[in-house]
Structure 1
């Protein structure tokens, strides 16, 4: 059996697999977990799943037109359900507020803009760094033989190169309807295609 760790960029993963279904919390976490586990092959012995994401932003900001205050509410327990699954470890970065952006940037408005014409913009910080550090750690210590990477972020490439130098194989996962960045494919050993498992709504 091939000793394996699965590394998941949660922000990317949720954009890829989450559909229009309105799922209760438990069904939602089941859905995420089932799609992560589907990325393994039968000859792989999974050591751990490392899931990287950010808690929802919490804080107060001034709206762009009215100047009124808007409160954003976080949820400290947001990933507790997912963390309870077998072999799952959650790695959290930070979500930072970057301002408000127009919903339709190229539109010509024939009316006065209001607060509702803008969306809040957020940026993840620390997720890429944590992914790179963990890829380096698992490969330098030879804790695993293979890393399954669920991401489309080219910032992972330096760590992927280092892992391969250390003799660890890199598998990148391409889900249906998605295209991986060609540089990620170039610096991996295998590309693994997976269909999205639809949630159980029974």
Structure 2
């Protein structure tokens, strides 16, 4: 079966870092490429077959490239020279070198970038188990909003289905926003498989896929991020 593999990049990087820890940009790119290719192996009724890779589509946003005010320190934090920005750019470069990998980059809504208190920290402040003067940098999370990534995934699923370019689509994500696209692909006769990397998914997403498959048991041992 000719197979397209679509990767929600932000989701993959968060899950893989949570399960396997931090890696260099090159090692993470190699890890992702190897993982995707494991989806080409099918084992049914004691026999093993290998599907043909159509293409790996990787969806993500460029790293933040601006200064953001940090409420704890009372000053801006410059992300234009951050290690995270350099790592992300290197990661994209490494992926772009891989055979049959297409990068689909959206953009960040930089006007809405801000720091928020983590939910766990807010609870501690409210129940008075933590005081304001005890806050540290780890109590805050940077909030980023992507633009265009989900739309690109949905459009590519529709295009692959309508043009009959593939027999099977594997989507690596855990987002139920893709239910309409999954329904469309199945209507067009595409075998639609979801890999949530071990995380639990909503019931409405389970109803509109042909199956689930995760290619590494280590993900299954940690079902939440």
Q: Contact 1:34 / 1:197 at 8 angstroms: preserved in 2?
A: no
1:65: Cα distance to partner?
Answer: 4.6
Q: Deviations over 1:57-97 (max 9, x none)?
A: 11112222554222112344540101111111111112234
C-alpha separation in 1, matches of 2:152 and 2:38: 23
List, as ranges, runs of 4+ consecutive aligned residues in structure 1 with deviation greater than 3 Å. Answer: 19-22, 74-78, 111-115
Residue of structure 2 aligned with 1:49, choices 56, 65, 69: 56
- Find 2:133's aligned residue among 100, 107, 112: 112
Of 46-55 and 98-107, more deviation after overlay is shown by 98-107
More helix by share: 2
Secondary structure (helix, strand or coil) at the match of 1:106 reads: helix
The more displaced of 71-80 and 6-15 is: 71-80
Match of 1:89 in 2: 102
- The answer to which of 126-135 and 70-79 deviates more is 70-79
7-16 vs 133-142, greater mean Cα deviation: 7-16
Does residue 31 of structure 2 align to residue 31 of structure 1?
Answer: yes
Taking structure 2 as the reference length, the TM-score comes to 0.77
Q: 8 Å contact 1:63–1:115 — kept in the other structure?
A: no
Determine whether 1:125 maps to 2:138.
no
* 78-87 or 181-190, which deviates more: 181-190
Q: Relative to total residues, which structure has the larger strand share, 1 or 2?
A: 1
What CA distance in whole angstroms lies between the structure 1 residues aligned with 2:182 and 2:63? Answer: 29
Alignment map for 1:162-173 (pairs within 5 Å)? 162-173=184-195
The whole-number CA distance in structure 2 between the counterparts of 1:8 and 1:22 is: 19
Residues 78 and 24 of structure 1: CA distance in aligned 2, closer, same or farther (over 3 Å): closer
Q: TM-score, normalised by structure 1?
A: 0.85
Contact 1:66 1:115 in 2 (8 A): no
Please tell me whether the aligned partners of residues 25 and 90 of structure 2 are also in contact (alpha carbons under 8 angstroms): no
What is the aligned partner in structure 1 of residue 222 from structure 2? none
The whole-number CA distance in structure 2 between the counterparts of 1:20 and 1:144 is 31
1:52 and 1:94 map into 2 onto residues whose CA distance is 11
Residue pair 1:35, 1:196 contacting (<8 A) in 2 also: no
What is the CA RMSD across the aligned residues, in angstroms?
Answer: 2.3
Secondary structure of 1:8 counterpart: strand
Are residues 94 and 115 of structure 1, via their aligned partners in 2, closer, same or farther at CA, if it must alter by over 3 Å? farther
1:8-55, CA deviations, whole angstroms, 9 ceiling, x for partnerless residues?
111111222233544233222111211121122234111100010112
- Aligned mate of 2:76, from 25, 44, 69: 69
Structure 2 alignment gaps of length 5 or more:
42-48, 220-225
Which structure 1 residue ranges, 5 or more long, are not aligned? none
Count, aligned residues: 196
Please give the alpha-carbon distance, in whole angstroms, between the structure 1 residues aligned to 2:99 and 2:26. 15
